[in-house]
Chain A
């Protein structure tokens, strides 16, 4: 196994990787205004919970990090968490959160 060799990935793994990256980029563009509103809400309230079909996404600000935790409906479900350091400027903070929202929603692809 060599992760630096794309040929070592199975067709299923390559497809999933492609889907996640494409979904991420599409969400960043299509949902940007919603994400910017969510960013304002998170920065004001320090927490934000969003429901999706089979998951709850819980965002928080803790220390110098933005965090996202996916909470599956079923205890048997897979889950993930993402952390980003909080940037210095306001503009960079909104951009980091837009990326966090898109990345977490793209990560829900099974």
Chain B
């Protein structure tokens, strides 16, 4: 084998190794990303409060959110925003943050069910909810990314 051939062979082996290393690291990253988060934050669709309508014949638009973990979580803070759509962009209707001081058992739910706004008239309006949260899990703060309602709800409720 000539020196030139030896050099070409070594070069191709080096390139192959160099290409394999990042692939392995990407695979490790993908594998860690596939590990399911121990917590889930969910925000429901905006809806009219049936309680208020049944008892007082008045309307309020409401959105609920919950955080559930399969590990103990403490100091859970859940922020829920109620938004309405508009011609020039979306408008915040109300924002409510609940801070739970205790620790919850695995599988138990922490709720923010207090985000609502009274309807001022019957104007058809489109609403959706946004929620985000943080909690102390295993001594570290974990932040849940913003989640949105599955659907935009069109309700006879002007705010």
Q: For the complex formed, measure the closest distance between the CB of B113 and the CB atoms of chain A, giving whole angstroms.
A: 5
Point out the residue from A25, A75, A80, A84 that lies within 8 Å of B52, measured CB to CB.
A25
Point out the residue from B42, B49, B50, B97 that lies within 8 Å of A3, measured CB to CB.
B42
Is A79 close to B, CB under 8 A?
A: yes
Enumerate the 10 nearest inter-chain pairs by beta-carbon distance, A residue then B residue, closest first: A3-B44, A83-B95, A21-B51, A18-B51, A81-B97, A79-B99, A80-B98, A4-B44, A3-B64, A21-B52
List residues 1-57 of chain A with CB under 8 A from any CB of chain B.
1-4, 6, 13, 16-18, 20-22, 24-25, 28
- Complex CA gap A22/B42 in Å reads 25
Q: A22-B52, A22-B56 are in contact. List 15 more A-B contacts (CB 8 A).
A: A1-B42, A1-B66, A13-B111, A17-B51, A17-B113, A72-B101, A78-B101, A79-B99, A80-B96, A80-B114, A83-B94, A83-B96, A85-B93, A103-B114, A107-B114
- Complex CA gap A82/B115 in Å reads 9
User: Which residues of B are found within 8 Å of A78, using beta-carbon distances?
Assistant: 98-102
B50-66 interface code vs A (CB 8 A; 1 in, 0 out) = 11100110101010111
Residue numbers of A with Cβ under 8 A of B are 1-4, 6, 13, 16-18, 20-22, 24-25, 28, 72, 75-85, 95, 99, 103, 107
Is B68 close to A, CB under 8 A?
A: yes
Chain B residue, CB-CB nearest to A18: B51
Quick check: A22 and B55 within 8 Å, CB to CB? Answer: yes
- Complex CA gap A46/B40 in Å reads 38
Quick check: B96 and A81 within 8 Å, CB to CB? Answer: yes
Size category of the B interface is 35 or more
Given A20-B113, A25-B56, A78-B100: A84 and B42 interface contact (C-beta under 8 Å): no
Chain A residue, CB-CB nearest to B63: A3
User: Which residues of A are found within 8 Å of B102, using beta-carbon distances?
Assistant: 76, 78
Given A25-B56, A76-B101: A20 and B114 interface contact (C-beta under 8 Å): yes
Quick check: A28 and B118 within 8 Å, CB to CB? Answer: yes
Quick check: A84 and B60 within 8 Å, CB to CB? Answer: no
CB pairs A–B below 8 angstroms (26 shown): A1-B40, A3-B64, A3-B65, A13-B113, A17-B51, A17-B113, A20-B114, A21-B116, A24-B52, A25-B55, A25-B56, A75-B101, A77-B101, A78-B99, A78-B100, A78-B101, A78-B102, A80-B114, A81-B96, A82-B95, A82-B96, A83-B92, A84-B95, A99-B117, A103-B116, A107-B96
